[in-house]
Structure 1
Amino acid sequence: MASPALFTSLDDAVESLLASIDGPLHVGAPLGIGKPHRLLNALYERVVGDPSRPLHLYTALSLDPPDGSSDLERRFIGPFVSRLYGEDFPRLSYVQAQKRDALPTHIEVEEFYVQSGALMNSRQAQRRYASLNYTHVAKALADRGLNCIVQKVASNDEGTRFSLSSNTDLTFDAIDAIVARGLPRPVLIAEIDPRLPWLDGVPAVDSSFFDMVVAPPAPYPKLFALPRQPVGDIEYAIGFYASTLVRDGGTLQIGIGALSDALCHALVLRHTDNATYRKVLAALDPDIERHPAVLVSGGLDTFAQGLYGCSEMINEGFQHLVQAGVIRRKVVENEALMKRIVDGEASVLDLELLDRDGEFLHGAFYLGSPDFYEWLYRMDDDTRRAIGMRRVSEVNELYGGNETLERLQRQQSRFFNTCMMATALGAAVSDALDDGRVVSGVGGQYNFVAMAHALPDARSVLLLRASRDERGKAASNIRWNYGHATIARHLRDIYVSEYGIADVRGKTDEDCVVAMAAIADARFQRGLIDVAKRSRKLAETFQLPAQWARNSPRNLRERLAPLRGDGTLPDYPLGSDFTEVEQRLVKALGWLKTNAATPVSKALTVFGALFAGKSEDAEAMQRMGLNQPGNWREKLSARLVSYALQNTR
């Protein structure tokens, strides 16, 4: 193949693209950090005023740094965003337009997964959302006549080889689907980013794979980072319960966020300090080791064999699991060898080949914190060789590739994902509201739930908080029914809340209702049971067991308090992107938001702040720019922050 055209000017690259494609532009861009922000912005700015060149952009997870919605939030977030992302971070122009519903009529942006909650009020984004399983996206792109793909890459020193690095998920699958339709291979444009870690193997391609290569001059913006959130009592309870469902020698898939951070902390503790791990579980449920789901599907012992990670997204949870020696079970792309290993018939030579050529972590894309990117950038050669980036069709499915090999590799798979709500009959609500508005997307959740049912010894585990705050009032996340479902109830498997484990796979509706009510908040159990009786799903004689009354936030807080106090359950188990003073402010501002959610609670909070003494945390007040308040608004804000700091010491 011919060498690609090289550009240092983004504008020149855009003009070359426009000259190479007649008519409308149908451009695909990877999700997450593989998206070339500067190139996309240059393209957007070029066509925004030119209706003769319609632009259809197909992508997902267009990441945008957070903005504050109030004066106090802006005071906190502004300096943090500047430090985490840098002053020169290129926000995506089309995202800023979407938020204002200001995309020109000749520009369309279609996403199959959106940044959680970021575009719920955008009519343009909601209208053009495509509800797709991750593994169906490549075919959809071919159906839409994709004629260009833009992607950020890492480069070797000579510029002769590129690594797709963070995003092997859809590029190869999309090209294959387009060519299989008899359409021309799309124009491929790479933007080199020296900050992107080099990953070899499947992600590495010759420079001739691309038609154009853009190497913009320095400075190079930081990679988009997801700030690590604090882990509270609820998240820890869910994470530790979930960790008991993992079997040694098995396979692990996880998502991202505080629930996954808690799960990873629990798994690391299970392996490195098993006595303390069991102490946490005893505080939650002294009988957890005898739970039927734990007996059948999990365990509490250390990982003698280790786990193999196979997850569409790799994040710092996996980093910590690798560093702790939990993720270390290797697999190879050799069906006969994998069968001998699984059957316990591997020879000494087989084991040597496994150790030399095997990989213990596969993923389709990665996303995380600056510390996580630094680990990928600087990890040792042995670890680098053991991490393999793959197509999403390979990671998220069994079918279409070498199914026999993948079944051998994915022994005792545990697929952990989160949902917003669940019904008492086992359906899950993970991506949208009952009015149709999309919060995030289906992504790969359905893929993993279906795979758990296809593999004989696998389990799908959906994690959810039992309740939420809804305009100052508690509301249950375990409902009788809901107007939208991401996972249908016939695919129900295991649910975990902060109050325990509900194994509902293959259960009757009656048994499912009882199991789900048992892990609901005690304030809402009676309502679920009453509706179940009226709906003829539960016997009229059923009585709530006395032990269910323990399912309360206060009871949970009291059980975990000693473990929070002695450092066993830290606020940031995988590290923090916040400074120590910012960590104190995160707590304080969270408390303030909770205690000002309704007009009455807001009035009481303001009243308390006016008559409370000043906080001794001068550093926090200075960080918020409220150490010397000027007008009355600043003085009131200073009082409120001071009061919140006192209540969260």
Structure 2
Amino acid sequence: MRPAPTFLASLDDTVDALLARVPGPLHVGAPLGLGKPHRLLNALVRRVAADPSRPLHLYTALSLDPPDPGDGLQARFLGPFVRNHFGDDFPRLAYVEALRRDALPPHIEVEEFYLQSGALLGSSAAQRRYTSLNYTHVARTLAERGLNCIVQKVAREPGEAAPARLSLSCNTDVTLDALDAVAARGGPRPLLIAEIDPALPWLGGSAAVPVELFDVVVAPPGPHPRLFGLPRQPVGDADYAIGFHASTLVRDGGTLQIGIGALADALSHALVLRHTDNPSYRQILRALGSPHADDPALTPFASGLYGCSEMINEGFRRLVQVGVLKRKVVDDLALMQRLADGSADADDRARLARDGEFLHGAFYLGSPELYAWLRELPDDERRAIGMRRVSAINDLDGPDEPLKRLQRREARFFNTCMMATALGAATSDALESGRVVSGVGGQYNFVAMAHALPDARSVLLLRATRDSGGRTTSNVVWSYGHTTIPRHLRDVYVSEYGVADVRGRADEDCAIAMAAITDARFQAGLVATAQANGKLRRDFAAPPRWAENTPEALRERLAPHRAAGTLPDYPLGSDFTPVEQRLAKALAWLKAHTDHKLQIAVRAMTGRSTDDAEALQRMQLERPQGPQEWLESRLLSLALRVTA
């Protein structure tokens, strides 16, 4: 039995304990996302920065940092929002601020396997020390690096002054796998330090660990900063079209994995509508020209879905609330086999109802509303959510593979990519130059699992185009100099213009299917390149319906459903006030028209001021002072009128 941990109340005392117990260079691991103890890490970095004799190597991922307000209209909008949403006392990570400026001391090194999307493209230090890993390989790599300390935020068991257990809560993903990996290599056990955060929801089951797992437990005094709330994004027409097309692939009684962002929100909303308002759901599919609009299988969910995803997010919250996520599984191979073959009896079904779980995840991250939901769950729902190691979620390998195969029937693994090639490869994490946007994370794991399970599919979602520097370019390209998912693992792609099922297809068939979901402006070039490279017959003619793949046609099709409120801007809730929602839409319009700055400026200067006094007041432009503020108020007025 392990000895009781040392309990401390001071972050500085905790750093003292760490430095005293770990001699020599520090090789510190910290969870990704929410479980990272910002204040403790800041105290450690501050101490080590002043002492070059103690090199620090920090291994982590997804170092969350509130957005920089910037300047101009963006600063007027984001500045107050950031203060209200994150709090004035939110502890920004000192090493992230240093990384942005390439100003880390030479004896401090930060190595991440997943970056906050796009946040560190300009940081040489972050780009050089990025490690490209499957999520399931992180624990092994930590052991190879000589990991000698892990720091992690945890939750205290409610009502327990001297807890016998702590909850890994938001991050059950890597800690226990890392300990096993270190032990398997014969290395000494790392020092484990827990920081209790009273705001973290308590999750029991496999997330609960004996307090003796940790060597040091620190409970810093208040006030405690808020949990990092990931702002929810508005869902556009293209996002909704992608979500509804993707929803037709989901089977009742199946398994669901989804990522994060507007595309995942749109997919979740489509599944909610399919269950709660099936006629409206089918009307939207008809408007999109989906061949599945009258599919008899797309009824409300009777058996429901089982969620098995590395990340629990807003979409899963809503799917639980409306009764879509309800198919339970148990970690009992014999019982799952009886359920599969129809021989389960009343006792089996009673045990499933009592002990089963309908959602498994390795970490959670989202809005304050998500965290409140987790904190306030009724006991029966709380017991049905199991936080697991990432090796248990993202992989089939191991002695429990037969059990996982029975649990993960009809699995649909939904992830996003930035670009796809006409021959089926995907780019999801980095640019052609090698600069990393985010990371591989679990995407490859789920793609490989989809091919390993007999009735599963991997579905990669992408917008057909992107706008940058005043230019619109296609996200479906002939080739690209970086690949995340190789073409031999191609499966299903979904854009706003439909579904391309390319698993096992010949190259010619794959190229045609991908061109069919490409924006009409780029189809001819894609077809011509395929023909020039001998992948498409010379007499191929594009079907007339391909010409309808335009943003204008999509907007027209969805406009009635937007007006009816069936497709709201924020289907899973918003972190913006109503006036901020109007402003966000207006500012997005201005950003999208930066290639027409002169024309926009002329329209703004000759137009009238907006009637939306509340919006001008929120932006402190109700009484503009000087030419710059006058122009900003006019630009904002124009954008508000256009987007009203």
**How does the TM-score come out when normalised to structure 2?**
0.99
Structure 2: how far apart are the matches of 1:567 and 1:289?
20
What does residue 283 of structure 1 align with? Answer: 287
What does residue 373 of structure 2 align with? Answer: 375
What does residue 188 of structure 1 align with? Answer: 192
2:169 is paired with a residue whose SS is coil
Length, aligned pairs only: 640
What does residue 623 of structure 1 align with? Answer: 618
In the TM superposition, residue 160 of structure 1 has moved relative to its aligned partner by 2.4
Aligned AA for 1:97? A
What does residue 572 of structure 1 align with? Answer: 570
- Cα deviation 1:417-451 (Å, max 9, x = unaligned): 00000000000000000000000000000000000
User: What percent of counterpart residues are identical?
Assistant: 67
Structure 2: how far apart are the matches of 1:289 and 1:172?
45
Structure 2: how far apart are the matches of 1:78 and 1:214?
33
Structure 1: how far apart are the matches of 2:583 and 2:497?
29
Structure 1: how far apart are the matches of 2:270 and 2:234?
15
2:584 is paired with a residue whose SS is helix
In the TM superposition, residue 203 of structure 1 has moved relative to its aligned partner by 1.1
Are residues 1:421 and 2:419 paired? Answer: yes
Structure 1: how far apart are the matches of 2:618 and 2:339?
57
**How does the TM-score come out when normalised to structure 1?**
0.98
What does residue 33 of structure 2 align with? Answer: 32
Structure 1: how far apart are the matches of 2:165 and 2:446?
33
* C-alpha spacing 1:75/1:504, structure 2 compared with 1 (3 Å): same
Aligned AA for 2:88? E
In the TM superposition, residue 5 of structure 1 has moved relative to its aligned partner by 0.8
Structure 2: how far apart are the matches of 1:639 and 1:483?
43
- Cα deviation 1:300-345 (Å, max 9, x = unaligned): 1111100000000000100000011100000000000000001111
Are residues 1:412 and 2:416 paired? Answer: no
What does residue 99 of structure 1 align with? Answer: 100
1:125 is paired with a residue whose SS is helix
What does residue 5 of structure 1 align with? Answer: 6
Aligned AA for 1:610? M
Aligned AA for 2:252? D
What does residue 208 of structure 2 align with? Answer: 204
Structure 1: how far apart are the matches of 2:290 and 2:108?
58
Whether the 8 Å CA contact 2:282–2:293 is kept in 1: the answer is no
Structure 1: how far apart are the matches of 2:387 and 2:22?
31
In the TM superposition, residue 289 of structure 1 has moved relative to its aligned partner by 4.4
Structure 2: how far apart are the matches of 1:7 and 1:123?
37
Whether the 8 Å CA contact 1:305–1:329 is kept in 2: the answer is yes
What does residue 243 of structure 1 align with? Answer: 247
> Aligned ranges for residues 171-570 of structure 1 at < 5 Å?
171-285=175-289, 287-289=291-293, 299-570=297-568
> Aligned ranges for residues 47-58 of structure 1 at < 5 Å?
47-58=48-59
In the TM superposition, residue 83 of structure 1 has moved relative to its aligned partner by 1.1
1:310 is paired with a residue whose SS is strand
Structure 1: how far apart are the matches of 2:282 and 2:323?
19
2:7 is paired with a residue whose SS is strand
- Mean Cα displacement is larger for which, 155-164 or 391-400? 155-164
Whether the 8 Å CA contact 2:115–2:439 is kept in 1: the answer is yes
1:153 is paired with a residue whose SS is strand
What does residue 89 of structure 1 align with? Answer: 90
Whether the 8 Å CA contact 1:154–1:193 is kept in 2: the answer is yes
What does residue 21 of structure 2 align with? Answer: 20
- Unaligned runs of at least 5 residues, structure 2: none
2:206 is paired with a residue whose SS is coil
What does residue 160 of structure 1 align with? Answer: 164
In the TM superposition, residue 68 of structure 1 has moved relative to its aligned partner by 2.3
Aligned AA for 2:215? D
- Cα deviation 1:33-82 (Å, max 9, x = unaligned): 00000000000000011100000000000000001233211111111111
- Cα deviation 1:255-281 (Å, max 9, x = unaligned): 010000000000011011111110110
2:281 is paired with a residue whose SS is helix
Aligned AA for 2:69? G
1:520 is paired with a residue whose SS is coil
* C-alpha spacing 1:253/1:460, structure 2 compared with 1 (3 Å): same
In the TM superposition, residue 470 of structure 1 has moved relative to its aligned partner by 2.2
> Aligned ranges for residues 632-647 of structure 1 at < 5 Å?
632-647=627-642
Structure 2: how far apart are the matches of 1:190 and 1:558?
54
- Unaligned runs of at least 5 residues, structure 1: none
Aligned AA for 1:196? L
What does residue 126 of structure 1 align with? Answer: 127
2:392 is paired with a residue whose SS is helix
Aligned AA for 1:359? E
1:288 is paired with a residue whose SS is coil
Structure 2: how far apart are the matches of 1:398 and 1:115?
27
Structure 1: how far apart are the matches of 2:566 and 2:214?
50
Please provide the CA RMSD for this pair: 0.9
- Mean Cα displacement is larger for which, 572-581 or 156-165? 156-165
Whether the 8 Å CA contact 2:508–2:535 is kept in 1: the answer is yes
Whether the 8 Å CA contact 1:8–1:216 is kept in 2: the answer is yes
2:241 is paired with a residue whose SS is helix
Structure 1: how far apart are the matches of 2:253 and 2:49?
54
In the TM superposition, residue 286 of structure 1 has moved relative to its aligned partner by 5.1
- Cα deviation 1:174-230 (Å, max 9, x = unaligned): 000001100001000000000000000111111111000111000111000111110
Structure 1: how far apart are the matches of 2:619 and 2:342?
61
1:496 is paired with a residue whose SS is strand
1:544 is paired with a residue whose SS is coil
Whether the 8 Å CA contact 1:138–1:173 is kept in 2: the answer is yes
1:114 is paired with a residue whose SS is coil
2:270 is paired with a residue whose SS is helix
Whether the 8 Å CA contact 1:394–1:401 is kept in 2: the answer is no
In the TM superposition, residue 491 of structure 1 has moved relative to its aligned partner by 0.2
- Cα deviation 1:433-476 (Å, max 9, x = unaligned): 00000000000000000000000000000000001112112100
